[in-house]
Amino acid sequence: MSTQLHAIGPLDGRYRNRLQQVSDHFSEFAYIKYRVHVEIEYFIALLSMQPPLPQLAEVQPSPTLLEKLRGIYLNFADKDAEWVKQTEFKGGAEGGPPLATNHDVKAVEYFIKWRLTQMSSEPGMEKLTKVKEFVHFGLTSQDINNTCYPLMILNFYRSVYLPKLAQVLCVLDSYARRWADVPLLARTHGQPASPTRMGKEIMVFVHRIKSQVENLESVPHCSKFGGATGNLNAHKVAYPDRDWIAFCNALIDGLGLQRLQCTTQIEHYDNMAALFDGTRRINVILIDLARDIWTYISQGLFKQKTKAGEIGSSAMPHKVNPIDFENAEGNFGIANAILEHLSNKLPISRLQRDLTDSTVSRNVGVPLGHTMVALDSMLKGLGKLLLDEAAVSADLNGHWEVTAEAIQTVLRREQVDGAYELLKEETRGAAVTQESITRFIDKLEKHDTIKLDVIASLRAISPSNYVGFFEPGEALEKWAESKLSAKSRKAVLEAIVSQVRGREGGGGAKE
């Protein structure tokens, strides 16, 4: 039976081949592996305490031992995850309890104890069986879960999400510079308005998204690690003379997270909610971009590259639909609906804890998966764009009424009474052409107060040169490269070159 054909949702169905990186961080396999990772690092930290805990003094954390312990999660395989799932739901896995635990974290604990038992048969590892009860020592499940999720999210954002978003921004930034001097008819309320530049309108989105990325990166990734109700009760009663707060802080800091100092049984999720809200804001901006590009395409200002064999409509062979931008908009929307629920729900838990956060947090990968699908679609759509400068120019020069603002502003500068009203009477609701604007300026020669050089300057105004200021500023590459891992930088930059610096199309359309 095909997994993709029978998947309930599109992330594990039609989009599955595009989401391996998301799966690497948020699948059930990944969640179990991250749990093993946190449990092992906690166990290693206990073994490494100085002075050693009396019961652990005989087991020295040698480099060989540490390598083997970390190998449990570094070499974690499907068969290991299956062992954990069998222990949780059925029982009877090799070396595990005969009955189901019906508890996911306890099953992970049993898995690690089983692996320690196996390792104890190796030379120099014999005493591991004596200390295996220090696996998960003094902890509650949420110490593990509330460290796993922020760690999963942190790694995903750094290695997958931000590099992909940086790629989108680099493409937009390159387009903004390429089209920096292309005049464009602006539309406010859907009506012709003062001209702008195509490059500047694209750059608006670069600035908006870059600002939100910086806000996103300021949100700390936090862990709750403090025992059953956040007070390290079990640790204190077992070893009251040890500084367990400093111990836990160092452990969590070593994992790349910040430890929350005052919690209930669970993380309060406030910072995670802020992260989801920040992601949602970026998605909203990208929806805005998708709709604008879609509109420009519908106006004929952009054409799209075609691909042999592709079909735009089952009934209308001529169509080249803006499906990538529509797909992006739809997936960003689904992502935002779930992100909003996560940020609204997770910070709420009855008293010291209820279980609602557990079932909800398991869906963290779903909106991020839809976000990645949307980003891929956005990149694909941007890569097809061909700016039709002839169409852009024709659209602009068909609306000489947009020069009215320029003319009346100059007249007001010259203190001509009723300048605004003069232009309003001439242009509002009327068909305004270059000729009608010229006739209006000709009439101004009768005004004794208007100098001839001023009239000459008015004649020089046209829709294509009344575009104001726009300086693209410093290129985005250096900023974007800081978001890319060394592994992904080359591939990302090559993709940008392929999408943005390709050959120019014919018929007035340019990439």
* Structure confidence by residue, pLDDT tens digits, 82-96: 999 999 999 999 999
d(CA 73, CA 65): 14
DSSP notation for 385-454: EEEEHHHHHHHHHT-GGGGHHHHHHHHHHTT-TTHHHHHHHHHTTS---HHHHHHHHHHHTT-TTS-HHH
Domain 142-306+319-388, architecture per CATH? Up-down Bundle (1.20)
* Residue 112: strand, helix, or coil: helix
DSSP notation for 145-196: HHHHHHHHHHHHIIIIIHHHHHHHHHHHHHHHHHTTT-EEEEEETTEEEEEE
Contacts of residues 186-194 at CB distance under 8 Å and 24 or more positions apart, as own/partner, are: 186/402, 192/399, 192/401, 192/402, 193/402, 194/402, 194/405, 194/406, 194/466, 194/468
pLDDT for 485: 55
DSSP notation for 411-430: HHHTT-TTHHHHHHHHHTTS
d(CA 446, CA 443): 6
Query: How many Cα atoms are found within 13 Å in the side-chain-facing hemisphere of 404?
Result: 22
d(CA 40, CA 453): 81
pLDDT for 447: 81
Eight-class DSSP state of 18: G
Radius of gyration, CA atoms only, the chain: 31
* Structure confidence by residue, pLDDT tens digits, 450-509: 899 999 999 999 999 999 999 988 877 777 777 765 555 555 555 555 544 543 443 345
DSSP notation for 212-268: HHHHHHTS--EE--SSTTSS-HHHHHH-TTS-HHHHHHHHHHHTT-EE-SS-SSS--
Per the structure block, which two tokens stand in for 401?
A: 């009424």
Residue in 493, 487, 380 with CA at minimum distance from that of residue 21: 487
* Structure confidence by residue, pLDDT tens digits, 210-262: 999 999 999 999 999 999 999 999 999 999 999 999 999 999 999 999 999 99
pLDDT for 491: 53
d(CA 364, CA 349): 17
Q: In the CATH scheme, what is the homologous superfamily, with its name and number, of domain 400-460? A: Fumarase/aspartase (C-terminal domain) (1.10.40.30)
pLDDT for 506: 39
Of these residues, 48, 121, 211, 313, which one is catalytic?
A: 313
The topology (CATH level 3) of 18-134 is: Fumarase C; Chain B, domain 1 (1.10.275)
Q: Read off φ and ψ for residue 302, nearest 5 degrees.
A: -115, 140
Q: Is the peptide bond before 51 cis (omega within 30 degrees of 0)?
A: yes
pLDDT for 505: 41
pLDDT for 495: 53
β-partners of residue 386 are 303
Per the structure block, which two tokens stand in for 169?
A: 């921004």
Residue in 284, 292, 395, 262 with CA at minimum distance from that of residue 333: 284
pLDDT for 309: 57
Mean pLDDT, the chain, whole residue set? 90
Which residues are within 8 A (CB) of 63 and not within 5 positions of it... i.e. 6 or more apart? none
Which residues are within 8 A (CB) of 153 and not within 5 positions of it... i.e. 6 or more apart? 25, 221, 272, 275, 364
β-partners of residue 184 are 196
| pTM, 2 dp | 0.90
Q: Are the C-beta atoms of 408 and 415 separated by less than 8 Å?
A: no
Q: Are the C-beta atoms of 461 and 403 separated by less than 8 Å?
A: yes
CA dihedral defined by 442, 446, 448, 451, rounded to 10 degrees? 10
d(CA 451, CA 461): 16
Is residue 331 within a helix (H) or strand (E), and if so which, with residue range? Answer: helix 323-345
pLDDT for 503: 36
Q: Read off φ and ψ for residue 510, nearest 5 degrees.
A: -125, 145
d(CA 508, CA 302): 11
pLDDT for 236: 97
Q: How far apart are the first and last CA of the chain?
A: 44
* Structure confidence by residue, pLDDT tens digits, 413-431: 988 887 778 777 776 777 8
Q: Where are the domains of the chain?
A: 18-134, 142-306+319-388, 400-460
Lowest mean pLDDT among 352-361, 434-443, 486-495: 486-495
Active site residue 313: yes
Of these residues, 2, 6, 189, 314, which one is catalytic?
A: 189
Alpha carbon distances (Å) from 221 to 37, 146, 412: 17, 11, 56
